[in-house]
Amino acid sequence: MADEDYGRFLSAHPAYAGTASIDELRRRDYSRLDAQGQVYLDYTGAGLYGESQVAKHLGLLKAGVFGNPHSTNPSSQAATVLVEGARARVLEYFNANPDEYVVVFTENASGALKLIGESYPFGGSAPGAGRGRFLLTFDNHNSVNGIREFARTRGADVVYVPVELPDLRVSDARIEAELAARPGAGGSLFAFPAQSNFSSVRHPLSWIAKAKAAGWDVLLDAAAFAPTNSLDLSLYKPDFMALSFYKMFGYPTGIGALIARREALIRLRRPWFAGGTITVASVQGDRYYLSEGAAGFEDGTVDFLGLPAVAIGLDHLAGIGVALVHERVEALVGYLLERLTSMRHASGVPLVRVYGPEDTKDRGGAIALNFSDSSGAPIDHRRIEAEANARGISLRTGCFCNPGAGEIALGISRAELATCFTQPSHAKRLTIDDFRDCIDGKSTGAVRISLGIASDFRDAAAFVDFAAGFLDR
């Protein structure tokens, strides 16, 4: 049966056969998955590292003597070479011209986004320059949503553009209307995810040039997009781009980047200084001078031993070919969508509801969904997770730090939220269980499965098999 299934899958998705080199890679570099019988379906949570990446990194550390960078002693110079090598490799990977773009290393994508939040001139760069504007789509991750708090503190207007059912896409016309309504002289920043980590919708990168032409600065959250898509910064030129490397290739954790246009970075105003960010700071003179470029944004000592693993990881992903990963993931997602959306209980009730596009056009490698029982009543996502755990399947449930997409997908209205948040008992504290009680018994989350660098047909088929176990229950 499994072979028949695989045969049918291959004839429906012939491009998969062309990605066979990833099967060999999985045997060689990700053998632990099959040795332990694990079905990993949480690549949007974190990518998986190949064993060769770790071995190369360890080999490098074993062979060298590396001290704190940016001094002239030999161990320091050796570390500086690695740090600057990683920086150059990031630019090269994204085809970014070093005269135009600069890489600021951060602890993760959230760290990169926070740098923008605290430094972007929402109130204009000169006193009294006018109200700024922060425009963003509903389906941003909370680490982008959080920027609104900085924006409001500086008097900027915050404008959300909703995602719309059934596909959870944003209307192009609405985006264009908002971009055209840019107000006065304050800074105007437009933020969107290249790929939503809830619905996996890939938004048009053509928005970047449109927004720039209308005078906006653009912040692209590439955290969920970069692991399975190529991004060429000579074609698309956001002012700021945030990502986490562990999502792309699993290892190292704790390192992300803000990739910024030099011209845009200069306009950011950091609210403080720290070791490593200044050329000169004086106690008696009460002055400081921020370093130019990336150094002014990297607080303290960068992860100089971890950074070479970023270059190794980029080589690893480039060696496989992100386009090949993309192709394979697209075929697997196509299969999963076809199989999951066609399953029906004997009562005729569909087994699952998928949130987001039900085909592979302009969508990525994650599927958010909920299960129903044979009467159509929702099955709590926590129960699905518990049963998946017992089968060795790693998936994720909740709202994935993406409340805007979740609220639209799950039908939670502005009025319901206002009623909940204005209850006196919720003035200071609201647990997730309180929130569930408030929302009238509606589901407050979903199940998300996601594919990536080492996924294969067996992973997808294992989930289909797991899902079928809920039929007629």
Ligand X SMILES: Cc1ncc(COP(=O)(O)O)c(C=O)c1O
What stretches of 248-390 adopt beta strand conformation (E)?
A: 256-261, 278-282, 287-290, 352-355, 366-372, 378-379
Site for ligand X in 123-142 (CB under 6 A): 141
108 interacts with ligand X by CB under 6 A: yes
Q: Is 401 a catalytic residue?
A: yes
Among 224, 233, 368, 410, binds ligand X (CB under 6 A): 224
Q: DSSP characters for 40-93? A: E-BTTT-----HHHHHHHHHHHHH-----SSSSSHHHHHHHHHHHHHHHHHHHH
Is the CA virtual torsion 141, 143, 144, 150 positive or negative?
positive
Write down the least CB distance from residue 110 to ligand X, Å: 3
Rounded to whole angstroms, the Cα distance separating 184 from 182 reads 7
What stretches of 327-469 adopt beta strand conformation (E)?
A: 352-355, 366-372, 378-379, 393-394, 396-398, 446-450
Write down the least CB distance from residue 145 to ligand X, Å: 10
Rounded to whole angstroms, the Cα distance separating 207 from 213 reads 10
Write down the least CB distance from residue 107 to ligand X, Å: 8
Alpha carbons within 13 angstroms on the beta-carbon side of residue 282 total 5
Tell me whether residue 90 or residue 379 sits nearer to ligand X (CB atom): 90
The answer to whether the CB of 252 falls within 8 A of the CB of 303 is yes
Site for ligand X in 23-52 (CB under 6 A): 44
Among 42, 178, 217, 221, binds ligand X (CB under 6 A): 221
217 interacts with ligand X by CB under 6 A: no
244 interacts with ligand X by CB under 6 A: yes
Tell me whether residue 110 or residue 444 sits nearer to ligand X (CB atom): 110
Of 399, 401, 420, 438, the active-site residue reads: 401
Which range touches ligand X (CB under 6 A), out of 63-71, 148-156, 221-229, 424-432?
Answer: 221-229
Query: x/- string (CB under 6 A) for ligand X, residues 254-283?
Result: --x---------------------------
Tell me whether residue 89 or residue 396 sits nearer to ligand X (CB atom): 396
Query: x/- string (CB under 6 A) for ligand X, residues 171-210?
Result: ----------------------x---x-------------
Rounded to whole angstroms, the Cα distance separating 97 from 111 reads 23
450 interacts with ligand X by CB under 6 A: no
Binding-residue total with ligand X (CB under 6 A): 13
Tell me whether residue 109 or residue 368 sits nearer to ligand X (CB atom): 109
Q: Residue 264: which residues within 8 A CB-CB, separation 6 or more?
A: 217, 239, 240
Rounded to whole angstroms, the Cα distance separating 362 from 357 reads 9
The two structure tokens encoding residue 472:
């007629």
Tell me whether residue 86 or residue 439 sits nearer to ligand X (CB atom): 86
What does the radius of gyration of the chain's CA atoms come to, in whole angstroms?
Answer: 23
- C-alpha distances in angstroms, 205 versus 62, 91, 120, 441? 42, 19, 22, 38
CA 436, chain centre distance (Å): 26
Rounded to whole angstroms, the Cα distance separating 152 from 146 reads 10
Write down the least CB distance from residue 195 to ligand X, Å: 7
444 interacts with ligand X by CB under 6 A: no
229 interacts with ligand X by CB under 6 A: no
Question: Which positions are annotated as active-site residues?
Answer: 401
Binding site for ligand X (CB under 6 A): 44, 108-110, 141, 143, 193, 197, 221, 223-224, 244, 256
